[in-house]
Amino acid sequence: MYKHFAFALSLLAPPVLAEGEFNSINLAGTVVANNKTGLSYETRGCITSLSSDAIKSGTATAGQILVQLDDRAANLAHKTAQVRLSDLTAAVSERAFAITVANADVARVSEEQDFVNREYDRTRVLFQRGLVNETTLDAAERRKLDATFVVQRAEEALERAKDTKGRAEIALEIGELELQARELDLEALTLRAPFDGVLLNFNANIGDCVAQGSQAAEIYDPTEKSVETFVYVDQLVDADSVGVVAGNPVQVVRTNGQICEGVFSLIETEANLESQNVKAKIELSETCAPDLFLNEAVGIKTLSTAS
């Protein structure tokens, strides 16, 4: 009985390899896209146009318009923001001109003040010599005070003009931000392809009304594909001997016999509790990756690094 049990264990046990000996293994896997990206609507609206080329070919180029939502209200808001910005720009120019006028007023009244001050100084000298009476001196002093007050009012008007221009510039900046916001709203109504690729689930129809965040399609680069497979833990005990090591080459074999070269890019570190297998990922060569279909079942043959 014990002899039969020992024989059964010998059949189940993995073959014992000499040190440094390589033993290729065969695995099964599924083709997946590396960079599958979802395309979602940035805002709600109703579809007014679609890319017929994208629908017919199932492919898109970077920046290509795929879906256009109704943009009439957004265009109106954008034009309103443009007109408002023009008005605010004109207001800033007007305030700048007011500062120029105020500066000219300050310069003019300052000259008048200098003249009145000189006249007062002459009158005071004449009064000291007894050539004019006190009433004349008082009148000159009154004109001097009036000229001082006029200069002060002109300087205050200049400060008010500067403050008004500052508020106009703030309003202009707000207008510019508002225009940028309306431009973003307008851009959100256009769905574009982020890169060259193949479209999946692109089933939009003209007249459909969509919600913000709903998915319009998926896109992936056909040259960037991988194969996902699973390796049993007992095969990874001596991973080097079977070639299941990140960076090691493999051959991916299709059902028609076509071979595509690949490289192990990832060996996960957590095994499934029930099946005791570990997920692995194989990066396919860009030269043959476009030939393979997504979700295609393929065979995998490991190779030694010396192959």
Q: Is residue 282 part of a domain?
A: yes
Structural domain containing residue 264? 15-35+221-302
* Amino acid in position 214: S
Q: Is residue 7 part of a domain?
A: no
pLDDT score at 169: 96
Tell me if residue 216 falls in helix, strand or coil: strand
Is the pLDDT at 156 greater than 70? The verdict is yes
pLDDT score at 178: 97
Q: Is residue 116 part of a domain?
A: yes
Answer for the pair 47, 239: CB distance below 8 angstroms, yes or no: no
State how far the Cα of 103 lies from the Cα of 144, in Å rounded to an integer.
Answer: 21
**40-61, pLDDT tens digit by residue?**
999 999 999 999 999 999 999 9
pLDDT score at 130: 85
* CA gyration radius, the chain: 42
Mean pLDDT of the chain: 89
Assess whether 180 and 85 both reside in one domain: yes
Assess whether 150 and 115 both reside in one domain: yes
What percent of the chain has a predicted confidence (pLDDT) above 70?
93
Answer for the pair 292, 221: CB distance below 8 angstroms, yes or no: no
Assess whether 129 and 154 both reside in one domain: yes
Q: How many domains does the chain have?
A: 3
Assess whether 146 and 181 both reside in one domain: yes
Answer for the pair 99, 92: CB distance below 8 angstroms, yes or no: no
pLDDT score at 103: 94
Look up the pTM and report it. 0.71
Between CA 18 and CA 24, with CA 22 as vertex, the angle to 5 degrees is 135
Assess whether 168 and 195 both reside in one domain: no
State how far the Cα of 276 lies from the Cα of 273, in Å rounded to an integer.
Answer: 6
Q: Is residue 268 part of a domain?
A: yes
pLDDT score at 13: 42
Q: What backbone torsions phi and psi does residue 265 show, to the nearest 5 degrees?
A: -105, -20
Q: Is residue 289 part of a domain?
A: yes
Strands 249-253 and 259-271: antiparallel
More confident residue, 173 or 238: 173
Only one residue has tokens 């931000």, namely: 177
Q: Is residue 10 part of a domain?
A: no
Assess whether 290 and 194 both reside in one domain: no
